[in-house]
């Protein structure tokens, strides 16, 4: 998708495209810290499916205790992974929650 140089940037910064993302590699999803096209909901869904699949396989192999420990550990990793993803890029528009400065 091409953008005009003087159109607003597609990343939502409010700047003109030529002053913001022109010539930079990546897209909005990559800039927000996740894989392109992957939202938190999709990542959580995939993570839960993997946890259930691996835990069920271990349970059927009569390794119930290992399945419980591994399942709990994988849930913790999934929660931490989503919680500590890079935040979205800062926007200078008034009223935008990503514009809050935490002293950085």
Concatenated DSSP letters of 38-76 = --HHHHHHHHHHHHHHHHHHHHHTT-HHHHHHHHHHHHH
What is the structure's pLDDT at 98?
Answer: 62
What is the structure's pLDDT at 3?
Answer: 63
What is the structure's pLDDT at 29?
Answer: 38
Rg, C-alpha atoms of the chain:
20
What is the structure's pLDDT at 9?
Answer: 79
Can you tell me the distance from the alpha carbon of 92 to that of 17, in angstroms, rounded to the nearest whole number?
15
| 18, 11 contact by CB (below 8 A) | no
Give the pLDDT means over successive 10-residue stretches in the chain (104 positions): 70 78 59 56 79 80 80 82 70 66 63
What is the structure's pLDDT at 100?
Answer: 67
Which phi and psi angles does 16 have, rounded to 5°? -70, 150
Can you tell me the distance from the alpha carbon of 52 to that of 27, in angstroms, rounded to the nearest whole number?
32
What is the structure's pLDDT at 30?
Answer: 39
What is the structure's pLDDT at 88?
Answer: 62
What is the structure's pLDDT at 2?
Answer: 61
Q: Which phi-psi region, left, alpha or beta, contains residue 41 (left: φ > 0; alpha: ψ -120 to 50)?
A: alpha
């Amino acid at each position: 998708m091409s953008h005009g140089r003087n159109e607003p940037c597609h990343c939502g910064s409010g700047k003109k495209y030529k002053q913001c993302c022109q010539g930079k590699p990546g897209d909005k999803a990559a800039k927000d810290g996740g894989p392109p096209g992957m939202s938190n909901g999709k990542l959580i869904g995939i993570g839960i499916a993997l946890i259930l699949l691996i835990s069920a396989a271990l349970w059927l192999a009569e390794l119930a205790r290992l399945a419980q420990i591994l399942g709990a550990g994988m849930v913790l990793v999934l929660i931490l992974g989503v919680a500590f993803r890079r935040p979205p890029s800062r926007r200078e528009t008034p009223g935008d929650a990503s514009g809050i400065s935490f002293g950085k």
